[in-house]
Structures are given as structure tokens and as C-alpha cells.
Amino acid sequence: MNLQHIEQYVAGRLGEEESCAFEEYCLANPEFARQAEYEQRLKAGLAIVARGSTAEFVRSDSHQARWNFAAAAGVLLTLFAMYYVWGHHAARAAKPLMAAVATDSQRSGPALRLAMVRGSENAPVLPDGSVRVEIVGLFDLGSHYSVALDRLERNTYDTVATLYSQHPTSPVTLEVMVESDQLKPGTYSLRVRKQASGEESLDFSFVRF
Amino acid sequence: MDFVPGGELSRRIREGDVSAESELIRQFEPGLRVLLRRRTGGDHGLLQDLVQETLLVVIQRLRGAGIEDPQKLAAFAAQTARNLAIASLRKAERQKTDVDTDATDRNADPAQNVDAIAADIEAALAVRALLRELPQARDRLMLKRFYLDDHDKHVICQEMDLSEAAFNQALSRARKRFREILEERGFAKRDLLSLGL
């Protein structure tokens, strides 16, 4: 058995007998089985991402500048829209789902620290209430950052809140407030991106029970 | 095929050696996951349940009557998993006809649902990170065509003007990086941990 068999099995191209032989080989060879499982997970992950948007696959590097311009225009438009909506609905709006850290009292409440930890075994759990989320990374104090909160479903992910123009509190931390009680149970991801730059975003997942 | 100490394991389990049972779990769990992942349609919770149930059935059988040909222990475990998957599918089909939706919603365990979707979501997060890292649009498109559109490797190479060696190299890089991303984020170990290993 070799990689070609894994590809054929995952693609569903093996016949009944061949599939049975492949599966028994996997049981007898745990490391080979792990390789096959990574292949299955890669395919499943690609399928989920594609259900959200196929744009991720066809993004062209040569059009980066155009995308940056479009993103900047989008940010401005979104900021204007947010200002307009908030202005009209402030009276009846509850606390926003996500906001900048504004007061000292917020610093003494519940907090969650999100960091990329090699070998981390469990997704962190968001506590109840108004939670100060401390995002650990390398930040440029002179730059603005956008923070997007995605809710991850089985087949897709929806952005439930986005903050723009956030300043890091230190070269290694950026903080936002998240209203945990307004989030449905599920898996979420915070995406932090340096605005007006081509840098990749930092993704941090957590769970809300 | 590699040597599988099926006979030896069977004998030790029959004699009550608990460490042999742990060995059997470590040996078979990855393969069972592959087999059952294919038959559970992305339902991670069901996958976990069936892996555990299969291991339990195999161990109980070895503690008791044993199997006819201990050298065919892997085949026995694989067939047990297939049978359990079919039984589970039949049960789900029967339940579809008389589900009390309100009661199901009331009894839904959010934590379990989160756990059930977590594994595939983690893979999706890793894929998204991988796609961002891939330097060329060609590589991203190649992955899509190979894994999602199920296009034949030769057709992809021909249409994208790629040599097979270049295709395999790009695919191998993507696989390796995907595995690294899962491991870096601690997602690779979750399944083993849920089995208490």
C-alpha cells in the first residue's frame, strides 16, 4: 500500500474488495492510517472552506493591490455604515458584541488570553459576561488592526462582529471586549489583521459553551 | 503488509493482560478512525462513539470466546466496525420517521454539539491558513481541482501545464504543511485525547 492507494481511497475510487483490504492494512499499520486520516481531514477542510467561499482558492497574488484598495474602500464604507446604524439605534441597542477596552473596570473583570501555543491540546473556553480578550502576538504600535469574530458552523463560518482601527496595548498584546452572553454556544475564531497591509491575519479559535 | 502481532495480543488479552488491551487500542484506533470517518459523513461524535464501541466489542470478544483465527484480528476488527456503522445508519434511518423535534431541541447538549463539529472546523481553519500560505494561486486551484472537483491528476497536469513531478511536489508540500498546522495548533492530538490515551 502506498500514497496512491490513500488518494484513491479518499477519493472513493477503490472497489469494494480493495477498500476492505485498504482498511485492514490501516488497522495493521497505525502510522499509515494516520497519513490516510490527514488526507481525509484535508479533503473535509477544503470542502468546508469551499462552501464558505471559493474565492480563497482563486485569489490571485498579482491583484493584491487591487484587493487592498477594495478592502480599504470596504472598510471606509463599513465604518460609515456602522456609524450611521449605531447613531440611529444607540438608544435601543444593548452592549455591542465586541468593543474596544475603554475603562479600567473592564480590566478587572473576566479575561481570556489567546495565544498561538505550539502543541496546545484544547481550544480555550470563553467565560460568561463581559470578557476582556487579550490577544497575544507581535503588533506594531503605530498601526491599526481589524478584529473579526467568526462563528464556525459545520459547513461555513459567519462573521458576527468586526472592529476596525484597534490599537495594540503593547507590542505583544491587543485587547478587545467580547459580550460572551450574546454569543450562542459554538466554536468561534478571532481574526486579527494589520489594516492597509498585505500581512496575513492571525487566527485564534475558542469555544463558547 | 507489516507484521501484526494479532495472535500474541489475543493470547495476552485472553490471559487478562491489561497492557495488551492498551496496545490493541493504540494499534487499531487510527485505522478504525479512517474506516469509520468514511461511513459517518462528518459526524465526529458518531465517529468517536463507533470507534469506542468497536474497540469494546473486540476486547470483550478476546477476553471471552476469542476469534477463530487470531492472525486475522485486524480483519475481525474492521468487519466489526463496518457492521456497527451499518447498524448505526439503520437506527438513524428508523429514527428519522418519528423524531420529536421539540424534545430533541430541548435535550440537545450544546457542549456535545460543539465537540461534534470541532474536528472538521479545525481542519477548515488549518486549510484556510494553508491556503493563505500557499504562494501561488496555481497551487490553491490545483488543490481545489484535485480534492473537491475530483479531477484526475493527469488531466489537471495537462490543463494547468504542469509536469507530474511538479504536481506531486506541490501536493506533498501542501499535505506536509497541513499536518504541521494541525499539530502546531494542537488539533492533531484532540482525537487521541478524547479516547483517554
Using 50, 70 and 90 to split pLDDT, how confident is the model at A60?
low
pLDDT the model gives residue B1:
38
| pLDDT (mean) for A147-156 | 81
- Does B35 score more than 70 pLDDT? yes
Residue A8, C-alpha cell as written in the block: 484513491
d(CA A73, CA A77): 6
Sort strands A186-194 and A202-208 into parallel, antiparallel or unpaired. antiparallel
Alpha carbon of B191: minimum distance to chain A alpha carbons (Å): 10
Q: Is B180 on the interface with A (CB under 8 A)?
A: no
Residue A204, C-alpha cell as written in the block? 485564534
| pLDDT score of B17 | 85
Cell numbers 475481525 correspond to what residue?
B76
ipTM over 0.85: no
Residue with the three cell numbers 491587543: A174
Which phi and psi (to 5°) does residue A55 adopt? Answer: -60, -30
- Judged against a pLDDT cut of 80, whether residue A203 lies above it is answered with yes
The predicted pLDDT at position B18 comes to 86
Q: Distance from A62 to chain B by nearest Cα, in Å? A: 9
Give the position of cell 466554536. A187
Among candidates A29, A31, A38 on the partner chain, residue whose Cβ is nearest the Cβ of B175: A38
> What percent of chain A stands above pLDDT 70?
79
Query: How far does B64 lie from chain A, in Å, by closest CA?
Result: 22
Q: Closest-CA residue in chain B for A152?
A: B121
pLDDT tens by residue, A97-129: 888 887 777 788 889 988 876 656 677 889 888
Q: How confident is the model over B61-82, as pLDDT tens digits?
A: 888 877 878 778 889 999 999 9
Burial of A83 from C-beta contacts in 10 A (0-12 / 13-18 / 19+): exposed
- What pTM value is reported for the model? 0.57
Cβ distance B37 to A47 less than 8 Å, yes or no, reads: no
Lowest mean pLDDT among A46-50, A91-95, A115-119, A121-125: A91-95
